[in-house]
Amino acid sequence: MRIALLTVLVTACTTLPEVEGLEAQLQGKDYEGCTSSGCGDNGAVVDGSDISWFRLDHNPYKGIRYLHFATSQWNMNHGIFADNLDIKGNILRFGGPITWQTGPALLNTVIRVAVEKPTEPLRRYDIQIAGVYEDTPYWTQAFSGFAESYRFTWTALTPEDDTPERGELCPMDVSDDPWWNRAYRAVVFEGEKIDNETRNITSTGTADYVAPFNIACFGGLPAKQELARRTSASATVDGMYHTTIADDRQNLARAWAAEYCGGGESFTHQGHKLRIKDRHQWLSIPKLGWTEDDELSPDFQFEAVWSDGRAICVDTPRLAVTDPNIPPDPEIFDRIRSVCNLPPPCTGQSWFPKSWALHGDFATATFGAQDVLP
């Protein structure tokens, strides 16, 4: 998985004097905590129903069933369907198999779905591709192209209503920074499922017309994986960026979610700022990582090194740090200890910080108001 592995994890609960001091400083401070829907899942929804994982084989998933595809709302309304929607890697397309329509040809096309809930009547929705964009750069140091993203809107099919319900699949999230936020946008990709609730990654099929795919709203973990070129769909550019789920995509998902103990419990909050480095040195240092000079700043805090599906060492959890958007959590250390033995501190390890990449896939840190990505 990496050049060298840290083969022994400390199982005793270790508390350093400086950690105790930090905990004491956090006592008495207010902390809102994670919402009932989780810590920053930020998934795509149609009228409140999760549609982040979309199946093209007409079988339901979480109550949502794909019905038809049409090239316009007029065609959909007149029953002129074209069930030839497909995804190739991270690009939506229709038509084929000889001639595929992509990019601008997708604008205003319509996907009809049914939402089936046990205690409610079946409802149908038309999802329109309201925007197709090619202006979001991948988060790599060397320029490696732009991600194609989409804006999806939905309309409830309720003929008896004069004003049917309408909405956006993805939440509003605007920034002037071209590296990150775009209002209402999502990337899509096939080949693996990234569960918004568990952060588990599993391989999936890629067959034409039937392969399922992720609808990954900007700000959510699946979109971060895609833009970091840590999906099978985005990994290959001129033979670069090859990884696997075990090496190292799952570790990145755990790092984004602050799953210090491994899969299952997330210790982060939507909107919290984070710095991250990868052992391959593919990710952009100015936009995502940090320099040795940054480490000298009083605002800089090492967080953790990530390997084998968890943090192998932890200095300062991100929720223990005053963030521009999120107040510190006074009980973060106790909350981690309630789930697992707190990993040993990174500071003090013979290989840290100079040689952390020999022991882990990723290192994380916080850096005050200079952070870019949530």
| Burial tier of 157 (Cβ tally within 10 Å: 0-12, 13-18, 19+) | middle
Mean pLDDT of the chain: 84
**Dist. CA 216–CA 199, nearest whole Å:** 13
Q: Which amino acid is at 273?
A: K
Q: What is the pLDDT of residues 20-41, one digit of tens each?
A: 443 333 333 333 332 222 233 5
**Are 367 and 290 in contact, with CB atoms under 8 Å apart?**
yes
Output the pLDDT for position 6: 27
**Are 214 and 87 in contact, with CB atoms under 8 Å apart?**
no
Output the pLDDT for position 161: 57
High-pLDDT (> 90) share of the chain, %: 65
Does pLDDT of 82 surpass 90? no
**Dist. CA 319–CA 303, nearest whole Å:** 10
**DSSP code at position 29:** -
DSSP characters over 105-161: GGTT-EEEEEE--TTS--EEEEEEEEEEEEEEE-SBSS---EEEEEEEEEEE--TT-
Does pLDDT of 74 surpass 80? yes
Q: By three-state DSSP, how is residue 373 classified?
A: strand
Does pLDDT of 80 surpass 90? yes
**Dist. CA 60–CA 102, nearest whole Å:** 26
**Dist. CA 128–CA 146, nearest whole Å:** 23
Output the pLDDT for position 352: 97
Q: What is the pLDDT of residues 219-277, one digit of tens each?
A: 889 999 999 999 999 987 777 899 999 999 999 999 999 999 998 899 998 777 789 99
The confidence band for 162, taking pLDDT boundaries of 50, 70 and 90, is low
